[in-house]
Structure 1
Amino acid sequence: MQYVKPLHLFQNLVKSNASQGGRLLGLDVGDKYVGLAVSDLDNKIASPLSVLVRKKTNIDLVAHDFQSLISELSLVGFVVGYPFDRQRLAPDATQVKLFIDDLSETGKLDGLKFTFWDERFTSKNVELLIKPLSLHPVLAKTVVDKFAAVQILQ
């Protein structure tokens, strides 16, 4: 996996869409789950996709799931939510960085480009929106993770 700045990822996407197409996958990395969202074929609209269970012992399985999604959805890059904080390194930021490093070390996603995008308040925004729905806590968590990924990608 190769980190690129957001503008560079977008420029590559515009060039590749003109010739071969490609979509982006948004990731909201949490303690237990990774929320996923995918862009449409024109890369204008993001839609919730799914939630992957995240454990330290299943990184190879997660990488395999990403490989399947890359071929199935014609993905060309990842946009990973990252809690930027100018004052200090947030614990959540360390968690995201470790997840990406572990994923990269599997070697299963070599050549894939990714970038970080500010995710502050994405989960909180979704929580506030769905609170009136009184969803079961497990369902609420998966909805929050998927739609936070949508906000990151959108």
Structure 2
Amino acid sequence: MIVDNARAFRALLPEGGRLLGLDVGTKTVGTALCDAEWSFASPAQLIRRGKFTADKAALVALSQAQQVRGWVVGLPLNLDGSESPRSQSTRAFARNCRDTGLPILLWDERWSTVAAERALIEQDFSRAKRAERIDNHAAAHILQAAIDALVSVTA
């Protein structure tokens, strides 16, 4: 099931559990994981995009290995909140992953890359290292924002 608000997603996972955050790009999928109590999110592995079936298989394998109960997918909206071709592509990605059996939350990610970039600059990473890590850090930012909302909502 795909939902776009914290209350509906929380109702699907009343007992919590680990979540996988995704920053879906055209060349890579940045991933992040959170703990089962929804306290903190951390960057995970970077998946280089190829054929969709291989991308989905890698995400399912990561989910199974980490005992993930749901996915939080960053939805790239325009600054005014309207849909863009990228957001439509991300919605299609999520729809094509419905058969994993995991609930999927589409989460507004308008400022995630900017926040991740600032965090990496503050950590004094070189430009090359920032480019290599930005998608996973953006996924962690998306996931952290979502779990912060999830813990403040009652099911």
TM-score, structure 1 as length reference: 0.80
C-alpha RMSD of the superposition = 2.0
Hey, what does 2:92 align to over in structure 1?
Answer: 98
SS of 1:38's partner is: strand
Q: Gaps spanning 5+ residues in structure 1: where? A: none
Q: CA deviation at 1:45?
A: 0.8
Question: What does the per-residue CA deviation read over 1:49-78, in whole Å, with 9 as the maximum and x for residues that have no partner?
Answer: 1111113xx211122112212221111110
The change in CA–CA distance for 1:95 and 1:130 in structure 2 (over 3 A counts) is same
Pick the aligned partner of 1:26 from 21, 28, 47.
21
Q: CA deviation at 1:136?
A: 4.4
Match runs of 1:1-154 below 5 Å: 2-4=1-3, 5-13=5-13, 15-17=14-16, 22-55=17-50, 58-85=51-78, 86=80, 88-104=82-98, 107=99, 109=100, 111-131=101-121, 133-137=124-128, 139-154=129-144
C-alpha distance in 1 between matches for 2:125 and 2:68: 34
C-alpha distance in 2 between matches for 1:89 and 1:8: 21
Number of aligned residue pairs: give it. Answer: 141
Partners of 1:35 and 1:146 within 8 A in 2 = yes
Q: Gaps spanning 5+ residues in structure 2: where? A: 145-155
TM-score, structure 2 as length reference: 0.79
Partners of 1:35 and 1:142 within 8 A in 2 = no
C-alpha distance in 2 between matches for 1:126 and 1:51: 15
Percent identity between matched residues is: 29
The change in CA–CA distance for 1:9 and 1:88 in structure 2 (over 3 A counts) is closer
C-alpha distance in 2 between matches for 1:72 and 1:142: 23
The change in CA–CA distance for 1:87 and 1:3 in structure 2 (over 3 A counts) is closer
Partners of 1:60 and 1:103 within 8 A in 2 = no
C-alpha distance in 2 between matches for 1:134 and 1:36: 19
